[in-house]
Copies of this chain bind each other. A is one copy, B any other.
Amino acid sequence: MYELPDSELASIDAWWRAANYLTVGQIYLRDNPLLRRPLTPEQIKPRLLGHWGTSPGLSFIYAHVSRIIRDTGQSTIYLTGPGHGGPALVAAGWLEGTYTEVFPDVTRDEAGMRRLFRQFSSPGGIPSHVSVTTPGSIHEGGELGYVLVHAFGSVFDNPDLLTIAVVGDGEAETGPLEGSWKGISFLNPVRDGAVLPILHLNGAKIASPTVLGRKSDAEVRSLLEGHGYRVVEVSGSDLPGMHRRFAAALAECYASIREIQREARDRGTPGERPHWPMIILRTPKGWTGPAVVDGEQVEGTWRSHQVPLSGVRENADHLAQLESWLRSYRPDELFDRTGTPIAEILAANPTGQLRMSASPHANGGLLTRDLDLPDLRRFAVTDDEFGTAIESTRRLGDLLAELYRRNPDRFRLFCPDEVNSNRLGSVFDVSDRMFAERVEPGDTKISADGRVMEVLSEHNCHGWLESYTLTGRHGLFASYEAFAMVSASQTVQHGKWLEEANHLPWRAKVPSLNILLTSTCWRNDHNGFSHQGPGLIQNVITHRGDVSRVYLPPDANSLLHVADHCFRSRSCVNLIVIDKQPQQQWLTFDEAADQVERGAAIWPWAGNDGGTADPDVVLACAGDVVTMETIAATEILNERMPQLTVRVVNVIDLMALPRRRDHPHGLTDTYFRELFTDHVDVVFSFHGFPGAIHQLVHGRPDADRFHVRGFIEQGSTTTPFDMTVRNRASRFHLVMDAINNARRTPPGASELLAWCEERIADHERYVVEELEDLPEIRDWSWTRKG
């Protein structure tokens, strides 16, 4: 068993006391940071905010991990599940010097310490939880539950990285966290790095005890062993005993990790799933803080969760108690006259990029290498293939397979058990599914060497990809459209991370988060209503313009160009929506390239306006199925009412619609007018909820003239064409809309309207009868002509 030398112990303890001192200072002090004078109420912040309870434990772990790093040179990052313990991590960064490197105003001396305290949880300052502004972090501590998914994502294809993941006992109650212990079932000790989870049980959350904090030790152990871990436990509050025991536990775990890796790497194959070590650390909540306040027990209870002494400015007893609490860390022994940490404390820091707050893995843009992308043309739909229905996502699958081939160290696909279902199965020609549990004879395309990530958990898939990209690698999350809502909050929070990072010059840009939504609402023939929901678009379009991207390629060639663009982009959330079923192909390879670059284009071959500036009506579309309906509607109009001049506009980049001042992809006023005029009515057929278009075109000339058809939450187990009828977005509805909104009404309008009504009624009869007759699904396709 490892024995911590006394000199190390003294240095670690001093570092820890300094971190605790700085934590309390951030919560309370606006002045007198070194307590060189007696504490007065005026030196206390007007509003006391922050979370003390979890912080001393976080700093305790941090100090000890730093020792391992110093001893071994192990590249390590630290993810803080109990993210509201922000001041602890800020303190660590300041002690390590990193904070001053990224925020030069916050010097590592008395003036900087004063600034450090004042900025915390103050207007214009930093949030109270670990966030984008915290150097060394790739994990936002606001929304709980993702620390383990982020930890595992960070170490995939990162064989030399160790990620420490502190799991709070509050967040341990969340579904996503409970579902993410299984990361080790997808971890390859040869090619991947390691995660060391530390379940920090201090027994309470904001206002009450936690489930894991109050289960018997045996049950908690049983639970984690059931997840496959070797459990090491450390409990107590005695000092220096806790230092010694935790140092030993950490040394044991680290040795065990290295041994697992060494064995596997010597052997060259992952072998049976290892029993990776993890630590359960039980310490009092608010450890080293005030034990009793106003006669009530605070240390060790939920009362220490936030600000243990709340009346410091008004209550002299509280003030005195705060002062003695601060002085209990013996600040005079920790900082020299200038306020700089003493040499013994600095000696506890690792050096350079080994400092966890300075790891380039936590600022992954620094490590990002571009993807080696192939020439797209080899996957393209050729002119010969037009006229046949093609599964567009299958072409994307071929591209993804090539990405796997060319980028074996920095590209992965993440998907909840739907790679084949989504027609992306070509990747299995290059890589198996990753699976570290038992593989049996007869299993196909699955092994512990695989790098295609399939787990039936959107949370795991999404979160793994998030940190895979935040550590500088590339990937794609592919999901059934409706169930992308499961991880919508992750999409939103990751977008916020990127938005915030864009304001921090020291944060290097990272690969984008690419999300493919397929199995869409229009084509869920047998699954029905619960599988019909294009809602995620609603959430992504509200992100800031520098982050939000929504693409609706109508066919394979445009999908390829969109994907290529997304894989080259940085620090965006790219949402790509396209169905997986065989579908019409519209654009040649070059046309698609051009339109993806422009965002939207007139399809001259579809309309009959011959380039006039003044068609009678514009039919616009965004999305695959609705594009087909638009083309079909145009053809009906061209045939049956050729006098009506119709222009067809297809939109691939949804964010081309807003004004450029509202979004950087917004079309220029001139090009927008070239496409949509500024006065002709537009019948817009949209893949998602119509309101999305209404809000995006707001502010464009005469936005009221946009009449939008889309998914209006009418769904069922039914044919694709019937879906368009139920949602009043079929070709016949579009024809009627075109006639009703055209600038002039050509002769024959009422006949054509009546004909459309008949077609719809005919269809509705057909559906009712279908149950009796069950004929073949009616042909509903339409093909680009000429």
Question: Footprint of B on A, CB under 8 Å?
Answer: 30, 45-47, 49-50, 115, 118-119, 121-129, 131, 140-145, 170-171, 173-182, 185, 205-211, 214-216, 219-228, 297, 301, 417-421, 433, 435, 437-440, 442-443, 445-446, 454-460, 482-483, 485-486, 488-489, 492-493, 496, 499-500, 525-531, 533, 535, 538-539, 541-544, 689-692, 694-696, 698, 702-704, 708, 713, 716-719, 722, 767-768, 770-772, 774-777
B contact residues around A772 at 8 Å (CB): 118
B contact residues around A702 at 8 Å (CB): 704
Partner pick for A489 among B442, B483, B689, B775, CB 8 A cutoff: B483
Assess whether B529 is in contact with A124, with CB atoms less than 8 Å apart. Answer: no
Partner pick for A488 among B211, B488, B777, CB 8 A cutoff: B488
B contact residues around A722 at 8 Å (CB): 123
A selection of 19 A-B contacts at a CB cut-off of 8 Å is A46-B775, A49-B526, A122-B771, A123-B718, A127-B526, A129-B530, A143-B483, A144-B456, A177-B179, A207-B417, A207-B419, A207-B420, A208-B433, A214-B437, A214-B440, A219-B228, A499-B713, A538-B539, A694-B695
Query: In the complex, A440 Cα to B216 Cα: how many Å?
Result: 13
Partner pick for A774 among B30, B435, B459, B526, CB 8 A cutoff: B30
Query: Which 10 pairs of residues, A with B, have the shortest CB-CB distance?
Result: A223-B226, A691-B695, A175-B179, A142-B530, A127-B528, A485-B489, A222-B226, A49-B526, A214-B437, A178-B178
Partner pick for A47 among B210, B439, B777, CB 8 A cutoff: B777
B contact residues around A50 at 8 Å (CB): 526
Partner pick for A457 among B46, B175, B180, B421, CB 8 A cutoff: B175
CB closest chain-B residue, reference A484: B489
Assess whether B488 is in contact with A489, with CB atoms less than 8 Å apart. Answer: yes
Query: In the complex, A141 Cα to B181 Cα: how many Å?
Result: 25
B contact residues around A122 at 8 Å (CB): 717, 770-771, 774
What's the minimum C-beta distance from A275 to chain B, rounded to whole angstroms?
10
Assess whether A530 is in contact with B457, with CB atoms less than 8 Å apart. Answer: no
B contact residues around A446 at 8 Å (CB): 208-209
Most chain B CB inside 10 Å of its own CB: which residue of A297, A455, A525, A529: A529
B contact residues around A216 at 8 Å (CB): 438
Query: In the complex, A159 Cα to B46 Cα: how many Å?
Result: 51
What's the minimum C-beta distance from A120 to chain B, rounded to whole angstroms?
9
Partner pick for A175 among B176, B224, B420, B774, CB 8 A cutoff: B176
| Other A-B pairs, 6, CB within 8 Å; known A173-B455, A208-B446 | A123-B718, A123-B770, A131-B528, A208-B445, A209-B435, A221-B226
Assess whether B530 is in contact with A127, with CB atoms less than 8 Å apart. Answer: yes
B contact residues around A47 at 8 Å (CB): 525-526, 777
Query: In the complex, A499 Cα to B529 Cα: how many Å?
Result: 10
What's the minimum C-beta distance from A48 to chain B, rounded to whole angstroms?
10
B contact residues around A179 at 8 Å (CB): 173-179
Query: In the complex, A240 Cα to B529 Cα: how many Å?
Result: 39
Assess whether A223 is in contact with B214, with CB atoms less than 8 Å apart. Answer: no
What's the minimum C-beta distance from A763 to chain B, rounded to whole angstroms?
11
Known: A131-B528, A438-B214, A544-B713. A143 touches B496 (CB 8 A): no
Partner pick for A170 among B417, B460, B703, CB 8 A cutoff: B417
Assess whether B207 is in contact with A529, with CB atoms less than 8 Å apart. Answer: no
